[in-house]
């Protein structure tokens, strides 16, 4: 029994059980093995984690097979011979095995030349001191922390620092620039100045990284507790300009005739933070990020009046499609949701004015459908005035709009509503084939109901349709 020795990191019983198996398998194969990387970091921080990385001085794939064998007959091992890595899945855990290595990189690629190495070599090639800590699984010092770069101190001081010269670390693998910023945002840590300067100097090298990996890190920033931390670092490092330049176009305030507008970049960051306090939904956070994205393209100065951004909602919707495509984000429902929220983000605020009719409320409910709650979250997040009295008034007005929406929804059930006469019915009644007239008639009926001109019943809609059809010279065929 090895695992009854105390460990320098807190582990659950189940984790200790698996670590014992790994230690015994490594002992059998005479391979020194160590837990390393994110698992060690997260355990010390008390974060939940399901990924274990094990490094051994020797053949990692052989160790993985031996461990899988000791876990039971049916535990599969997936391995990648070229990289010398193997993965074992056991219950919830994903355990990654790799032989300790030394890496050297070439300028034009993030694929290193790899040679076998010692534990120290392997720790040297890691991205950050907090990710380079190891826990021994060897019998002689089982459970002890091997921390040559004082990662523990950096964890306590909440600092992100590279084990080696930072420019080397980032140039070797430029994805690490995104990772540094992601950890800073996720863990609320500070990147040491020297490392941040190296990111600024190496920012251009992000271009050799695939979009999928960039997007993956970007989304982790978006899902962090306060995404503005990471988004602002992306901007200040020069990475944002390369990966999402439309965001950088939002930066700054222009003054004319003594009139300025708000800095739309920092306003946007505030909106993302605000919405993040109320939802963990990545797509609602993306909607917040992109809600004003078309402001620079629609900006105009109207003498005597000030700055306007007419149409930034509609154009913003179009830009969402382009940005999602570039970021290789899902182009289906998720994209449609973000697009719709960007397009509709000005509507609820316009309903806070006085004398709003039921039909205006009904129309918004119809346009937003089931996404109305997400839209309201976005609009509330969009209130970033520093004036507390103003914020309070806006929020109260939104509560009134919510109450009105509830009333209208209860009486009309408009959210997922379909007009009582469909396109198929129109074609059958007038003997038409699909075409523009059918669409026009359908829209006219829908609009008349939404405007409250006619009641939401089949009979009323039918009568209205017959009347309307006359202007198209149509008469029913039966």
Q: Which residues bind ligand CTP (CB under 6 A)?
A: 37-38, 51, 53, 126-127, 131-132, 173, 175-176, 179
Question: By C-alpha distance, which of 183, 217, 216, 176 is closest to 47?
Answer: 183
Give me Rg for the CA atoms of the chain: 30
Residue nearest to ligand CTP (CB): 38
- Give least dist CB 384 to ligand CTP, A: 30
State how far the Cα of 267 lies from the Cα of 275, in Å rounded to an integer: 12
Q: Minimum distance between the CB of residue 256 and ligand CTP, rounded to whole angstroms?
A: 46
Question: Cβ closer to ligand CTP: 51 or 399?
Answer: 51
Q: Residue 119: name the closest of 16, 179, 35, 42 by CA.
A: 35
Q: How far is the CB of 141 from ligand CTP (least distance, A)?
A: 21
What's the min distance (Å) between Cβ of 282 and ligand CTP? 16
Query: Quick check: 36 and 79 in contact, CB under 8 A?
Result: no
Helix 423-430 × helix 458-470 angle, to 10°: 50
Q: Indicate the residue among 211 and 475 with the shorter CB distance to ligand CTP.
A: 211
Q: Distance between CA 449 and CA 419 in Å, rounded?
A: 8
Which of residues 54 and 132 has its CB atom nearest to ligand CTP in the complex?
A: 132
Identify which of residues 96 and 371 has a Cβ nearer to ligand CTP in the complex. Answer: 96
- Distance in Å, CB of 117 to ligand CTP, minimum: 14
Q: How far is the CB of 122 from ligand CTP (least distance, A)?
A: 9
Q: Provide the minimum distance between the beta carbon of 157 and ligand CTP in the complex, in angstroms, as a whole number.
A: 18
What span, in angstroms and rounded, lies between the C-alpha atoms of 300 and 51? 51
Give the whole-angstrom CA distance, residue 382 versus residue 349. Answer: 10
CB of 166 to ligand CTP, least distance (A): 13
Calpha distance 442→127 (Å, rounded): 60
Q: Looking at beta carbons only, is 40 or 71 nearer to ligand CTP?
A: 40
Beta bridge partners of 116: 101
Q: How far apart are CA 198 and CA 192, in angstroms?
A: 10
Q: Per this entry, what is the length of the chain?
A: 478
H or E segment and range at residue 103 = strand 101-104
Name the minimum Å distance from CB 123 to ligand CTP.
8
Residue 42 or 451 with smaller CB distance to ligand CTP: 42
Q: In the complex with ligand CTP, which residue's Cβ is closer, 36 or 445?
A: 36
3-state class (DSSP) for residue 340: helix
d(CA 35, CA 46): 16
DSSP 125: T
Minimum CB distance to ligand CTP smaller for 98 or for 271? 98
Asked if 140 and 146 count as a contact pair (C-beta separation under 8 A), the reply is no
Q: Contact 78/35 with Cβ under 8 angstroms?
A: no
DSSP bridge partners of 260: 255
Determine the Cα–Cα distance for residues 290 and 284; give it in Å rounded to an integer.
Answer: 10
Q: Closest CB to ligand CTP among 108 and 333? A: 108
């Amino acid at each position: 029994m090895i695992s009854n020795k105390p460990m320098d990191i807190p582990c659950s019983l189940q984790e200790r059980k698996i670590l014992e198996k790994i230690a015994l398998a490594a002992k059998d194969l005479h391979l020194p093995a160590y837990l390393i990387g994110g698992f060690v970091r997260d355990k010390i921080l008390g974060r939940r984690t399901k990924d274990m990385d094990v490094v051994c001085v020797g053949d990692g794939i052989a160790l993985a097979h031996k461990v899988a064998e000791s876990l039971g007959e049916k535990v599969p091992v997936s391995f990648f011979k070229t990289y010398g890595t193997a993965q074992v899945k056991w219950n919830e855990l994903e355990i990654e095995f790799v032989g300790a290595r030394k890496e050297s990189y070439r300028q034009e690629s993030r694929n290193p030349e790899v040679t076998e190495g010692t534990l120290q070599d392997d720790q040297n090639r890691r991205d950050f001191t907090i990710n380079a800590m190891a826990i021994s699984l060897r019998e002689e010092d089982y459970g002890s922390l091997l921390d040559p770069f004082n990662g523990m101190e950096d964890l306590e001081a909440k600092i992100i620092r590279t084990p080696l010269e930072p420019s080397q670390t980032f140039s070797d693998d430029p994805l690490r620039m995104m990772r540094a910023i992601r950890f800073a945002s996720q863990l609320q840590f500070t990147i040491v100045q020297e490392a941040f300067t190296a990111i600024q100097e190496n920012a251009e090298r992000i271009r050799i990284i695939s979009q999928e990996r960039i997007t993956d890190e970007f989304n982790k920033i978006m899902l962090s507790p306060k995404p503005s931390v990471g988004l602002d670092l992306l901007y200040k490092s020069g990475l944002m300009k390369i990966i999402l330049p439309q965001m950088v176009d939002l930066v700054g305030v222009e003054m004319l005739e003594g009139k300025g507008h708000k800095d739309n970049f920092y306003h946007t960051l505030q909106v993302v933070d605000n919405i993040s306090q109320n939802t963990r939904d990545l797509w609602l956070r993306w909607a917040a990020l992109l809600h004003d994205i078309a402001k620079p393209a629609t900006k105009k100065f109207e003498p005597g009046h000030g700055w306007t951004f007419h149409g930034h909602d509609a154009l913003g919707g179009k830009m969402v499609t382009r940005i999602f495509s570039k970021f290789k984000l899902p182009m289906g429902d998720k994209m449609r949701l973000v697009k719709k929220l960007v397009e509709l983000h000005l509507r609820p605020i316009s309903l806070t004015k006085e004398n709003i009719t039921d039909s205006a409320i009904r129309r918004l409910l119809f346009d937003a459908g089931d996404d109305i709650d997400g839209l309201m979250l976005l609009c509330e997040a969009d209130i970033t005035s520093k004036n507390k009295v103003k914020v309070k008034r806006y929020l109260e007005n939104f509560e009134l709009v919510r109450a009105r929406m509830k009333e209208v929804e209860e009486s009309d059930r408009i959210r997922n509503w379909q007009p009582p006469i469909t396109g198929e019915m129109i074609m059958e009644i007038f003997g038409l084939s699909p075409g523009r007239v059918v669409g026009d008639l359908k829209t006219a009926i829908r609009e008349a109901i939404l405007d409250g001109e006619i009641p939401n019943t089949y009979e009323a809609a039918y009568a209205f349709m017959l009347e309307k059809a006359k202007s198209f010279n149509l008469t029913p065929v039966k």
